[in-house]
Amino acid sequence: MSAEVGVIGTGVMGSNLARNLARHLAARAGARVAVYDRDVERAQALAAEHPEADFLVASSPADLASKLSGPRVAILMVNAGAATDSAINDLVEVFEPGDIIVDGGNSLFTDTIARGETVRQAGIEFVGVGISGGEVGALEGPSMMVGGTESAWSRLRPILEPIAARAETGDGHAESSVGHVESSDGRAESSDGDGAPVDRAQVDPESCIAHVGTDGAGHFVKMIHNGIEYADMQLIAEAFALLRSRLGLTPSEVAEVFREWNRGELESYLIEITAEVLDHTDAATGQPFVDVIADSAGAKGTGGWTVKTGLDLGVPVATIAEAVSARSLSAASVLRSSGTALDGPSNATSADDEARTSADDEAPTSAPVDRDTVIETVRQALFTGKILAYVQGFHEIAAGAQEHGWNTDLGEVARIWRAGCIIRARFLDRITDAFEADPKLSSLLADSYFQDSLNAGQQALRDTVADAASAGVPIPALASALSYFDGIRTSRSSAALVQGQRDFFGSHTYARTDRSGTFHTLWSGDRSEVQL
Ligand code: 6PG
């Protein structure tokens, strides 16, 4: 018996995706999934652990090719970079024209474009699919961003669409996904948060998968997803630091605040899991878990790619860039050790700091604050900052799509991010609505909901940034969001002076406000102006 699809790489993501595929393919057509791993024993162990999946285990790329019905489809779930190249090379050796290689890893989109060009020389299709949702998403239903030709998408759609997350429509709520239960057959199912399985047949399902363009488009959109993810996480972390520092709330108390926020416009997976993390107690010490984690953040690179690509495209993505830099700063131990000699207000953001501050018996840094007012102000600041991070991300998608001729539908992108992925949020419905109302929307800023929300929240963002600056609490993402906001609404920016400076030292020329043309001032001569 042959398999309809193969999965290469049986790490956690690959295993879970393969199980998800097996479940849906078997239900639909009795079709099977073949799995292959360079570590063949690992693939065999997966098949032994999950007999219900009825995997066909391949012992080599050639064996995998022989087990797949044509035109063959193989999904790579291996590490981005050299491992992906090597797996592609192995498949090109044994696949035939018309077969499809799918890269489901977090590959750099320019690598995907280049790999596609190479693989197509053998007549083989290459499709880059951004897959978001982590381990649980891979098993229960990820959000998937597909980049490839129309013909490849037609072949892949019946295979991938059934395994994608489904967003509920109509009520404005993103599907919850922290809660999940194992059903009697070992399948993970969505839960309604109280442990009761949700019958997906009851809701109007919308599959969180879309064809977002050719070649590198899928990985490009996934990259931006991750850039927004970095910004969202950093903004939430800054809100936590502020609530702790300004109000002295414990992590568990902040968790309660976040749970409350999660019932409103900030409802999102990241707020939901943040409350879980903050409420967790370290078993070894009895301390809040967040206080025993080293404050040095890792990064696999996708946030940095978003920023570099934004710079290349000339798109300002300052809040995302600050989120990436904040991780770098957190890990810069030598730099930070020199910081102990620097002055400023005491800015307790952890239990250690709180103890040190009270031992030092320092004077309070500012006037007493009203708890409810601070919480509401920080909530509004967080929501406003989050909108601005999305504005930046969607601007970059639009610019990238234009640069590469992808014709990416931004409304579709928002639609497939409403469930399954890490940044899923109630708020995505608003973005979908905005693009549905005006498919040619130039920016989220041109939509009245986002304008109204920003106008309603800007004062809170301003107050929060000012308060944090006075208190010495670092809030780079919130501060950059505010500067981005003010930069956009400024009718006349300081860039005029920068143009003057450029012309002075480099004859870089400038335009004038009062007439068209290109001009240069003879700075080292008589300072008269010439038109070029
Ligand atoms: C997702 C995640 C996933 C992964 C990130 C983490 O959408 O499922 O974004 O891709 O968790 O790569 O990235 P960092 O290690 O850089 O935080």
- Whether 437 and 320 map to the same domain: the answer is yes
Q: Is the CB of residue 300 below 6 angstroms from any atom belonging to ligand 1?
A: yes
| Confidence grade of residue 353 (pLDDT, cut at 50, 70, 90) | low
3-state secondary structure of 144: strand
Do residues 432 and 501 share a domain? no
Q: Could you tell me if the CB of 165 is within 6 A of ligand 1?
A: no
Residue 472 has pLDDT above 50, yes or no: yes
The domain spanning residue 325 has which CATH number?
1.10.1040.10
Q: Which residue's CA is the closest to the ligand 1 atom numbered 7? A: 132
Atom of ligand 1 nearest to the CA of 229: 9
Which pair of structure tokens corresponds to residue 121?
A: 């020389």
User: Is residue 505 included in any domain, yes or no?
Assistant: yes
Evaluate whether residue 172 is within a structural domain: no
Structure tokens at 489: 């609404």
The two tokens of residue 482 are 């505010």
Q: What is the Å distance from ligand 1's center to 230 Cα?
A: 9
**Pairing label, strands 209-213, 143-147:** parallel
Check if the beta carbon of residue 22 is closer than 8 Å to that of residue 186.
no
Instruction: Answer yes or no: is the C-beta of 134 below 6 A from any ligand 1 atom.
Output: yes
Which atom from ligand 1 is nearest to the alpha carbon of 303?
A: 16
Whether the upstream peptide bond of residue 368 has omega within 30° of 0, thus cis, is no
CATH number (domain holding residue 518): 1.20.5.320
Averaged pLDDT, 334-340: 94
Do 376 and 523 belong to one domain? no
**Residue 253 among the catalytic residues:** no
- CA 227 to ligand 1 centroid distance, Å: 10
From ligand 1's centre to the CA of 214, what distance in Å? 23
Maximum Cα–Cα distance for the chain, whole Å?
87
**Ligand 1 neighbour 374 (Cβ under 6 A):** no
Ligand 1 centre distance from Cα of residue 322 (Å): 17
Dist. CA 300 → ligand 1 center (Å): 7
> Residue 347: what pLDDT?
72
Averaged pLDDT of the chain: 91
Please tell me whether residues 51 and 127 are part of one structural domain. yes
- Structure tokens given for 118: 């190479």
Tell me how far apart the alpha carbons of residues 289 and 296 are, in angstroms, rounded to a whole number: 15
User: What per-residue confidence (pLDDT) applies to 185?
Assistant: 36
Quote helix, strand, coil % in the chain, to nearest 5.
Answer: 55, 10, 35
Both 312 and 450 in a single domain?
Answer: yes
Residue whose C-alpha is closest to residue 464's, from 450, 477, 451, 446? 477
Question: Is residue 436 domain-shared with residue 480, that is, in the same domain?
Answer: yes
176 CB within 6 A, ligand 1: no
Judge if 316 and 420 occupy the same domain.
yes
Give the number of other Cβ atoms within 10 Å of residue 185's Cβ.
8
- Beta strand residue intervals within 60-190, DSSP E: 73-76, 100-103, 125-132, 143-147, 166-167, 180-182, 188-190
Domain shared by 132 and 244, yes or no: no
User: Is the confidence at residue 63, as pLDDT, over 90?
Assistant: yes
Per-residue pLDDT averaged across 73-98, rounded? 96
Instruction: Check whether residue 387 and residue 434 sit in a common domain.
Output: yes
Q: Is the pLDDT of residue 396 over 70?
A: yes
Atom index in ligand 1 nearest the CA of residue 230 equals: 17
Residue 324 has pLDDT above 70, yes or no: yes
Q: Could you give the CA distance from residue 167 to residue 221 in angstroms, rounded to a whole number? A: 19
Q: What is the DSSP letter of 80?
A: T
| Stretch 354-358: mean pLDDT | 52
Domains in the chain, number? 3
Q: Report whether 197 contacts 182 (CB < 8 A).
A: no
The one catalytic residue in 125, 140, 229, 267 is 229
Q: Are residues 278 and 387 in the same domain?
A: yes
Q: Which residue has the higher pLDDT, 358 or 128?
A: 128
The number of the ligand 1 atom at minimal distance from the alpha carbon of 297 is 17
State pLDDT tens for residues 415-444.
Answer: 999 999 999 999 899 999 999 999 989 899
Q: 3-class DSSP state for residue 165?
A: coil
Does 171 reside within a domain? no
d(CA 370, CA 363): 18
In a domain? residue 161: yes
- Residue 206: predicted pLDDT: 86
Rounded to an integer, the average pLDDT of 370-391 is 97
Domain extent for 403: 239-489
Residue 205 reports pLDDT greater than 60: no
Q: Is 421 in the pocket of ligand 1 (CB under 6 A)?
A: yes
Write the pLDDT tens digit of every residue in 211-227: 999 999 999 999 999 99
- Kindly report the protein residue whose alpha carbon is nearest to atom 4 of ligand 1: 134
Closest residue by Cα to atom 13, ligand 1, is 300
User: Using a 6 Å cutoff on CB, does residue 10 contact ligand 1?
Assistant: no
Contact predicate 366/471, CB 8 Å: yes
Substitution site in 140, 422, 428 for ligand 1 pocket (most atoms within 8 Å of beta carbon): 422
Is the minimum distance from the CB of 16 to ligand 1 under 6 angstroms?
Answer: no
Check 4, 222, 265, 386 and give the catalytic one. Answer: 222
Over residues 219-254, the pLDDT tens digits come to 999 999 999 999 999 999 999 999 999 999 999 999
pLDDT at res. 368: 62
* CB-based burial label for 69 (10 Å; 0-12, 13-18, 19+): middle
Q: Are residues 280 and 331 in the same domain?
A: yes
Using pLDDT thresholds of 50, 70 and 90, give the confidence band for residue 39.
Answer: very high
Identify whether 328 is part of a domain.
yes
Query: pLDDT (tens digit, 9 = 90+) per residue, 137-160?
Result: 999 999 999 999 999 999 999 999
166-203: per-residue pLDDT in tens? 997 644 334 434 333 333 333 333 433 333 333 333 33
Which range among 105-119, 198-212, 296-310, 394-408 shows the weakest confidence by mean pLDDT?
Answer: 198-212
Q: Pocket of ligand 1, candidates 107, 145, 229, 236: which has the most ligand atoms within 8 Å of its Cβ, to mutate? A: 229
Q: Do 481 and 503 fall into the same domain?
A: no
Task: At 519, give phi and psi (nearest 5°).
Answer: -130, 160
Mutate to test the pocket of ligand 1, among 226, 228, 273, 325 (most ligand atoms within 8 A of CB): 226
Q: Is the CB of 232 under 6 A from ligand 1?
A: no
CATH number for the domain harbouring residue 58? 3.40.50.720
Q: Is 371 in the pocket of ligand 1 (CB under 6 A)?
A: no
Closest ligand 1 atom, CA of 137? Answer: 8
Establish if 521 belongs to a structural domain. yes
For this structure, is 308 an active site residue?
no
C-alpha 226 – ligand 1 centre gap (Å): 6
Question: At which residue do the structure tokens 């404050």 appear?
Answer: 295
Could you tell me if 68 and 40 are in contact, meaning their C-beta atoms sit under 8 angstroms apart?
A: no
pLDDT, position 300:
94
**Count of CB atoms situated within 10 Å of the CB of 366:** 10
